[in-house]
Structure 1
Amino acid sequence: MKQRLESTFFHLLLVIAIGLLGWLTQRYALVSDWTESGRNSLHPVSQQLLTRLDAPLKITSFAPKNSALRDPIKDIVARYRRFRPDIEFKFVNPAMQPQLTRELGIQVSGELILEYKGRRENLRNLEEEGISNAIQRLIQQGDKWIVFIIGHGERRLDGKANFNLGDFGDELKRKGYHLQDLDLAKHLQIPINTGLLVIAGPQNDYLPGETNLVADYLETGGNLLWLSDPGKNSGLTSLSKKLGIEILPGTIVDPNAEGLGLKSPAITLATQYPKHPAVANFKAITIYPYAAALQATDSEAGGWLRTPLLNTLPRTWNETSPTKGEVTHNPEQGEQAGPLTIGYALTRNHEKGEQRIVLIGDGDFLSNTYLANGGNQDLGLNLVRWLSEDDQLLDIPARTGRDLNIELTPTTGAIIGFGFLLVIPLGLLSTGMLIWWRRRRS
């Protein structure tokens, strides 16, 4: 009787112990990365970045209930959460919340939304380097001021009309930038905390004193985004001469656009981009309605390095006549054949550091009407990041192991294949037959 009770008590304790172990495995996880390169752990650069977080970081993945898609996302985010358990993470099924998916601009399955201190960033690069750089941008962008000049019929960064840039301005706010308008006729100076000055398609001429204020701002090392429109120099010709850039007459016409279903010949495309930090790894097609061509004139002016940033396709030209109806290229009227340059990036060394300017012969590409076309919004964000000096991205090299691939000579491969397919099965069969024969004799 005593032995039976001891046996029952032992088995009961064993079941309880197994149950407790199962409970512990559900509540706690012990993870150890034994790979030679530590490829399953967070890079030290990313770990250092996470120590700078002083508020909750929220990560949301818009992915359908598909383990093949969700599991890799869960694994990469888990590396960050092991180092910072306070990071909030959840999945959202886009099919169940279509309105939220549209509002947040989700375009691909698995896309991440990172939120920090009221700022937000969409991310489609699900590698550690992409996630860490997005976190860095969210941390840095809190003190960036973008000042846009008003008072001359400019496109407004807070305007909701089709030609304004209100949607782009809203996106900049979501990224953490502070926007401020500035009427030079009233304030007579550009604030010293301006991180980026924007001139967005003025329709009326600047007064000479206002032009001088902008020129003085550039002399002190300020960065500038200048969106110009065809035939609208707006009293800024002297400024473009100082930059060594000429705005060619007319509007660019692009016959290539017709093949993509674009009805107006005055809509031009850019499909390739130079190796420049402002468009690093950028591959999306961007469209430019009613754009002006630019041309570098004086390579020595101001000490600027001028890099063509946006170029049209061949078969384009700057049409100096109205673009309605059938248009033809007339070289005798000074119309230049493409490829033409729509945008330049200018840099020069200044005592404050590298000074940066982007001059683009079109403001429509960021307008409310055309912002969602192609990669226009992403290009605009890239340009602002570069001009605001938010392009100092983390360099996190890919870590691979030397033990991921086995390289065999043909002879070795044949021996291994022959052994698994013939020798081992025959050995097992022979052993079985031998055991059977011995038992039968006994």
Structure 2
Amino acid sequence: MSAPAMWGTRARLGVAANVAGQVAFVVAILIALNWLSARRYRRVDLTDDVSYTLGGKTLGVLEKISSADDRYQVVVFFAPDEYGAWEAALARTRDLLEEYRTRSNGRITYEVVPLLSVGREGVASAKRRLELRSEFTANDVIFKKGDVERTVNLKEFFGQEWEDMGPRGTPRLTSFNGESIVTAMLVALSQERPIRIAFTAGHEEISPDDAEPTGWGAFAHQILEKREGYAITRIEIGGVNGVPKEVDVLAIVSPRRDFSEADLRNLRLFMEGGGRLFVALDAGPEVDDPNGKRFPNLFGFLGTYGIEPQGDIVFDEDNALQFLQGERISRDKTAFRIAWFDREHAVTRKFTADTEVTMAGACTLMIDPGRAPEGFRVVELAKSSSGKAYGERGYLGSDKTQRDRFTPNVDIPGPLTLAVAASGTAKGTTVETRLFVMGDATALVNGVLPQFGRPDLALNAIRWLAKQEHLIQESSKRNVDRTLHLTAAQDGWIFRVCVLFLPLMAIAFGGTMWLTRRSQ
């Protein structure tokens, strides 16, 4: 379309200037909108379970980081797998890290290094450029602040299960725990002094330094030390010095010998001074006592806080885990998922119906709040089911024909208490004493944790004992597959409507309009 012939040069220039002004105005609006969106970032999560929304605790941490001058780096050394599960894991993690970057006003940055495409030289170059000193393996995620680095593997961000229990099965991501891990790593990097956890020695306890299948090396060093930032050590508490003052949390893990009077004396002094104690026991059928008094000194000490461990082994058929033996699926009633959690205590408050915590070879804990010191609160945190769950007493001493079946007036009927917390202020002090006891340590050993164990309960308990309740977040979010799967008939119908019917309708409408105008 050309301008009318009577238009002069001035009129043409006026039209051009008007068009240029309108274009400039539209561009200015777009620039302003982009600037405002960058300064006032908002993202709407339309999923029914708000899977992509950060928790309030995380937002509080990010607000502090965004107002400080410190810089944090997150580097993912990514390597895919043959099933495509790692690609899905990376996509979800990248989305999460982008949210952290935006919410922190750029104080947190991230980078993904694809190991297969860059090769050894590319990896070495990336380490030099990013000034990383930590050694890593495939799919490790390194968090860095200044000269401090911490490492966690991407597999810890997710829970997974196999689609089919068999040789042709494929892995499927079932839950996402990335937010809790990333936030914990950022907090650990920002701490001036690490919280010290001391594991007792001298009673044949499970060692936090043991890398064998029966040790706690993975949980203690990979999760507590490297991921959470705690300082881990081992001590004997029976000496004249007792428990060192710098110990924040004392841990007793599955002892095989009773504590001495000297141990108990120092343990009492520690607790009376506002100490915080973590205890993980086991059924230990190899040292089982039918009378339920395997360790009279240690169990007697716990009894003074209203917690009474029993000499049994817990069976829960309703929640038993499935194991693949050859091509046959079997169930072990001594390995089960916890059926119930307290919804009010800080340790388990954020657990949901989807939270899966496993125990294996656990013992029952009974409570008697009347025996606890005045003002102490004793809370049952976790229980087994009430249906086919029971505590088998005198496992080794019982008749083989009576094992694996409930014996009235001998065994303990369900539901059975599996974890207890006690807290209060001792006389003569203003510092709160805290105690956590769970009836299982086997689910967190190196040989079980990667396959069936979930550290959520023990980890939350340690955070509570360390007075870091702000790090206890919602449990792992379910990884819901929202793919719409169509049948062949539905797929054909959509093809006919979108590819054939709608274009033909547009052509018919256009032809009708053309004929109508032509006839006029």
Query: What TM-score does the superposition give when structure 2 sets the normalisation length?
Result: 0.60
The amino acid across from 1:174 in the alignment is K
Cα deviation 1:375-430 (Å, max 9, x = unaligned): 4334332222222222214999xxxxxxxxxxxxxxxxxxxxxxxxxxx9999888
Shift in CA distance, 141/226, structure 1 to aligned 2, threshold 3 Å: farther
Of residues 357, 367, 378, the one that matches 1:306 is 378
2:276 maps to: 223
Match of residue 156 from structure 1:
207
In structure 2, distance between residues paired with 1:250 and 1:70: 42
Secondary structure of 2:447's aligned partner:
coil
Equivalent residue letter for 1:210:
D
| Shift of residue 64, structure 1, vs aligned partner | 2.5
Question: Does the 8 Å CA contact 2:320/2:334 hold for their aligned counterparts?
Answer: no
- 1:338 is aligned with what amino acid? G
From 252, 255, 259, give the equivalent of 2:317: 255
Name 2:392's counterpart in structure 1: 319
CA distance in 2, matches of 1:361, 1:277: 19
What secondary structure is seen at the aligned counterpart in 1 of 2:341? coil
Q: Specify the alignment match of 2:237 in structure 1.
A: 184
1:345 is aligned to 2:367: no
Q: Give the secondary structure class of the aligned counterpart of 1:118.
A: strand
Q: Distance in 2 between matches of 1:158 and 1:390?
A: 24
How high is the TM-score relative to the length of structure 1? 0.70
Identity of aligned residues (%): 18
What secondary structure does 2:35 align onto?
coil
1:64 to 77, 81, 87: 87
Counterpart of 2:489 in structure 1 is none
CA shift at 1:123, angstroms?
Answer: 4.2
Aligned ranges 1:111-190 → 2 under 5 Å: 114-116=143-145, 117-121=148-152, 123=157, 131-132=182-183, 134-140=185-191, 142-171=193-222, 172-175=224-227, 176-190=229-243
Task: Tell me, in whole angstroms, the C-alpha distance in 2 between the residues paired with 1:168 and 1:67.
Answer: 23
The residue type paired with residue 39 of structure 1 is: R
Question: Are the structure 2 counterparts of residues 255 and 123 from structure 1 closer, same or farther at C-alpha, using a change threshold of 3 Å?
Answer: closer
Distance 1:151 1:75, change over 3 A: closer
The offset of 1:331, in angstroms, is 2.0
Distance in 2, Cα, partners of 1:44 & 1:269: 32
1:269-299 Cα distance to aligned partner (Å, 9 max, x none)? 3144222321323644333222210111233
How far residue 238 of structure 1 moved from its aligned partner, in angstroms, is 2.9
The DSSP-based 3-state class of the residue aligned with 2:197 is strand
2:262 aligns with 209
Q: Unaligned regions of 5+ residues in structure 2, if any? A: 1-32, 45-53, 79-85, 124-135, 159-175, 289-293, 324-329, 475-505
Please identify, of 387-396 and 371-380, the stretch whose mean Cα deviation from structure 2 is larger: 387-396
In the TM superposition, what whole-angstrom CA distance separates every residue of 1:197-246 from its partner, at most 9, and x where no partner exists?
01112222222121011011111111110122334326213311211111
SS at match of 1:331: coil
Answer yes or no: is the 8 Å Cα contact 1:141–1:390 preserved in 2: no
Superposition RMSD in Å: 4.2
Residue pair 1:200, 1:363 contacting (<8 A) in 2 also: yes
Query: What is the CA distance between 1:146 and its match in structure 2?
Result: 0.3
Distance 1:311 1:193, change over 3 A: same
The residue number in structure 2 matching 1:267 is 335
The one of 470, 481, 486 equivalent to 1:392 is 470
**TM-fit CA distance, 1:131:** 4.8
Change in 2 beyond 3 A, CA 1:330/1:95: farther
Structure 2 equivalent of residue 403 of structure 1: none
How far the C-alpha of 1:156 sits from its partner, in A, is 0.9
**What's the offset of the Cα at 1:161?**
3.5
Name which of structure 1's ranges 306-315 and 251-260 shifts more when overlaid on structure 2. Answer: 251-260
Match of 2:64 in 1: 48
Distance, in Å, in 2 between the alignment partners of 1:134 and 1:437 is: 75
Q: Indicate how the Cα distance of structure 1 residues 147 and 70 shifts in structure 2: closer, same or farther if over 3 A, else same.
A: closer
Residue 183 (structure 1) shift: 1.2
Pick the aligned partner of 2:351 from 271, 278, 281. Answer: 281
Please, which moves more after superposition, 260-269 or 337-346?
A: 260-269
Alpha-carbon spacing, 1:65–1:185, altered in 2? closer, same or farther (3 Å): closer
When residues 74 and 428 of structure 1 are mapped into structure 2, their CA distance, relative to the original with a 3 A threshold, is farther
CA contact (8 A) 1:59 1:114 kept: yes
Larger deviation: 163-172 or 138-147? 138-147
User: Structure 1 counterpart of 2:216, which letter?
Assistant: L
How far has the Cα of 1:67 moved from its partner? 10
Q: CA deviation at 1:357?
A: 1.4
